């Protein structure tokens, strides 16, 4: 019997405390003034002014990369289709928009990799990658250094050993003499560009990659043949497939090896693999300790070839290929909290709105939101016993990373 009585007393005390809390809660959020919930013209004007002043919008869209292999910091170079140039990757990936191409280093796998991009936020690119040196005549990164002459590659050193030197270029049987040349340092990639007429050649060296990426743009109306000639390190073997492979003799007599294929791996102490957009002619000449190579490639429109420096042999490298596509573009809109000013005099003049008002903004994450101070407050309590018109609006804040978060905005006019 005593236990039952004790339980009833506990229940009564608990209920009394709860009712006191509820009473205190409503006293706290409801000042001792006359409150009217009229949504009159002035309140509507205040709401519209607030939203127009502090809201912003951006577009958000996806980029899907589908690959046949796995690679970290793989150079991704794709035609950039969306007409949006003020970009930010939501994961902080550095990029450049260069000659209508989107260029960045991506971690890809044999599963589809999804990137989210934002547009329309006034981003400034900052490059955090380290370890690449880009100068007018050399680009160097981990274990790789490529030298340039007149902004065309002339030699390359991998793991402190020179792999090719004295590279020369001719186009349709004539020495390639560019009339326009430049190099650019974008923090994670050095780009060397040359051109004459409608034939342009670009070489790129990326941070953290042991490869030289080359791109040619040429007119569709003209057929070109680019010939590369170079002296090679004394690689002992070559391999393209199970039909085109072998050893270099390095005898006293001149030996020639000729065939056509779209890639080749040269290997010995280290390896050099060359990939091309189509079949090219390989012409090797070796004798004594000399190995020379001529490569003839037919070029039209956009053409890509690259040299990849690595250890091992042809079993130690895989040609990484990928496809890229952009997803649906959607517009998101919300209040940009970082842009809010609490200077009520400025806002009254800006909005041509001279009524006394107050705007309180709360994080809308629980029913107890009003127990905390507003995250922003425009104006102050000075209405005394005046009648107050008030209205509350549920909105979303939108930050620079594209995140939408619920907020509660309370408007008061007296």
Give residue 367's pLDDT: 61
Q: Indicate the average pLDDT of the chain.
A: 87
Task: Report domain extents, the chain.
Answer: 30-55+339-413, 57-125+327-331, 133-320
Cα dihedral 88→93→98→103 (10° resolution): -140
Instruction: Residue 215: name the closest of 195, 231, 235, 234 by CA.
Output: 195
Give residue 109's pLDDT: 82
What contacts 88, CB < 8 A, 6 or more positions away?
Answer: 117, 118, 119, 121, 123, 400, 401
pLDDT in tens, 130-185: 679 999 999 999 999 999 999 999 999 999 999 999 999 999 999 998 988 999 99
Q: How many residues does the chain have?
A: 414
SS3 246: strand
CA distance 205 to 156: 11
Give residue 32's pLDDT: 41
Give residue 131's pLDDT: 76
Long-range contact pairs involving 216-221 (C-beta distance under 8 Å, separation at least 24): 216/299, 216/302, 216/303, 216/304, 216/305, 217/301, 217/302, 217/303, 218/299, 218/300, 218/301, 218/303, 219/300, 219/301, 220/300, 220/301
Q: Which residues of the chain have pLDDT under 50?
A: 1-4, 24-25, 27-39
Q: Residue 179 CA to chain centroid, in angstroms?
A: 33
pLDDT in tens, 174-227: 999 898 899 999 989 999 999 988 899 999 999 989 999 999 998 877 789 999
Give residue 51's pLDDT: 96
Q: Which CATH number fits domain 133-320: 3.40.640.10, 1.10.3720.10, 2.70.98.30, 3.40.605.10?
A: 2.70.98.30
Instruction: Residue 212: name the closest of 163, 153, 262 by CA.
Output: 153
User: Which spans in 217-281 are helix H?
Assistant: none
Can you give the pTM of this predicted structure?
Answer: 0.79
Give residue 386's pLDDT: 79
DSSP 276: E
CA distance 380 to 382: 6
């Amino acid at each position: 019997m005593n236990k039952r009585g004790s339980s009833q007393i506990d229940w009564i005390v608990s209920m009394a405390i709860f009712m006191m809390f509820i009473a205190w809660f409503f006293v706290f959020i409801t000042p001792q003034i006359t409150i009217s919930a009229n949504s009159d013209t002035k309140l509507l004007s205040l709401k519209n002014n607030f939203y127009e002043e502090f809201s912003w919008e951006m577009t958000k869209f996806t980029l899907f990369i589908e690959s046949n292999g796995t690679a970290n910091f793989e150079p991704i170079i794709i035609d950039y289709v969306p007409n949006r140039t003020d970009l930010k990757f939501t994961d902080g990936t550095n990029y450049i928009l260069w000659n209508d191409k989107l260029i960045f280093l991506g971690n890809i796998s044999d599963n589809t990799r999804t990137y989210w991009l934002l547009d329309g936020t006034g981003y400034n690119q900052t490059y955090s990658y380290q370890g690449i040196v880009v100068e007018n005549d050399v680009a160097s990164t981990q274990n790789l250094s490529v030298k340039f002459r007149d902004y065309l590659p002339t030699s390359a050193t991998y793991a402190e050993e020179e792999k090719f030197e004295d590279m020369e270029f001719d186009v349709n049987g004539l020495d390639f003499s560019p009339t326009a040349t430049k190099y650019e340092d974008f923090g994670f990639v050095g780009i060397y560009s040359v051109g004459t007429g409608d034939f342009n050649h670009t070489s790129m060296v990326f941070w953290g990659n042991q490869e030289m990426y080359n791109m040619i743009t040429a007119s569709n109306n003209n057929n070109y043949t680019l010939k590369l000639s170079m002296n090679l390190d004394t690689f002992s073997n070559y391999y393209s497939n199970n039909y085109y492979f072998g050893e270099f003799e390095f005898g006293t007599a001149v030996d020639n090896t000729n065939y056509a294929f779209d890639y080749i791996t040269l290997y010995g102490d280290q390896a050099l693999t060359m990939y091309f957009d189509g079949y090219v002619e390989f012409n090797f000449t070796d004798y004594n300790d000399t190995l020379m190579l001529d490569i003839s490639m037919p070029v039209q429109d956009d053409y890509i070839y690259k040299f990849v420096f690595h250890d091992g042999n042809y079993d130690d490298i895989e040609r990484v290929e990928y496809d890229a596509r952009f997803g649906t573009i959607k517009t998101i809109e919300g209040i940009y909290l970082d842009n809010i000013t609490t200077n009520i005099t400025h806002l009254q003049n800006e909005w041509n709105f001279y009524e006394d008002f107050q705007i309180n903004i709360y994080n809308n994450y629980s029913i107890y939101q009003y127990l905390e101070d507003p995250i922003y407050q425009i104006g102050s309590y000075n209405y005394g016993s005046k009648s107050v018109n008030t209205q509350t609006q549920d909105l979303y804040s939108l930050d620079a990373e594209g995140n939408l978060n619920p907020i509660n905005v309370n408007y008061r006019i007296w």
